[in-house]
Homo-oligomer: A and B are copies of this chain.
């Protein structure tokens, strides 16, 4: 098979980025790793997140890759610089492409950011926006219960609306016109978020923006796959049956091919 794109996430969320990669680059081979044995990352400390993501990259590097996409807001926020320094292969995170897209969209220069505690505590999106346009004001809110709600299929539920109101109403008061979904799980509750924050606020999907940016980089480097049927391989660190049954919600298509379990602690 031609050189593949390696994609990893703490668990299933990164599949929303894979969905977009497949939509815009149907000929690319993809190796996906979801660290389902240690999910979630977003509530853990910086050292642990760096250690885990280092192992994730080490695992992916066994394959013949042209690029690694960190399809996880938390890892992109906390560990990306370390991973880039330690590896020769190009590594793309979700923060910069998403920040660029948000700055392009905003008209009133007031952007909201939601993500895991790890992502929000790092200030990654706010710093990236500040670098692009220092006249933009940002307003951030950690939403630690969104990941477990999504993973337990509490998608369109009254409880999810109540919790989302707790998280989003402070941002709504700030009159933002653009909101970054800074975690790749959040597109699954797009409707809940949009209902609460208001239809006039533009939601920026970090996985989708990163897929667009990845395509752009591959095009610029003349590295796009020229043809052939693409192959996707899925690897997880735990619980293959659960992955297989839930993954299609994230991907918005059926999983084809085998899902394999690996021991990530060895890497």
Contact = CB atoms under 8 A, between A and B. Distances in A.
A261 to B, nearest CB: 8
Contacts of A158: 159, 162
Contacts of A241: 45
A44 B238 contact: yes
Contacts of A144: 148, 152
A48 interface: yes
Interface in A7-44: 36-38, 43-44
Contact of A145 (B36, B152, B242): B152
Contact of A38 (B38, B145, B239): B38
Most chain B beta-carbon neighbours within 10 Å: one of A37, A47, A158, A241: A37
A218 interface: no
Interface residues of A, number: 28
A45 B239 contact: yes
Copies of this chain, count: 2
Contact of A265 (B148, B149, B240, B265): B265
A163 interface: yes
Nearest to A37: B48
Contact of A48 (B47, B151, B239): B239
Contacts of A38: 37-38
A154 interface: yes
Most chain B beta-carbon contacts within 10 A, residue among A36, A45, A237, A241: A45
A159 B158 CA distance: 8
Interface in A29-86: 36-38, 43-45, 47-48
A149 B265 CA distance: 28
Contacts of A37: 38, 44, 48
Contacts of A47: 238
Contacts of A242: 43, 45
Nearest to A118: B239
Interface of A: 36-38, 43-45, 47-48, 144-145, 148-149, 151-152, 154, 157-160, 162-163, 237-242, 265
27 contacts: A37-B38, A37-B44, A38-B38, A43-B151, A43-B239, A43-B242, A44-B239, A45-B238, A45-B239, A45-B240, A45-B241, A45-B242, A48-B239, A144-B148, A144-B152, A145-B148, A145-B149, A145-B152, A145-B154, A148-B148, A157-B162, A158-B159, A158-B162, A159-B159, A159-B160, A162-B162, A265-B265
The 9 A-B residue pairs whose C-beta atoms are closest, nearest first, are A148-B148, A45-B239, A159-B159, A159-B162, A48-B238, A265-B265, A159-B163, A44-B238, A45-B238
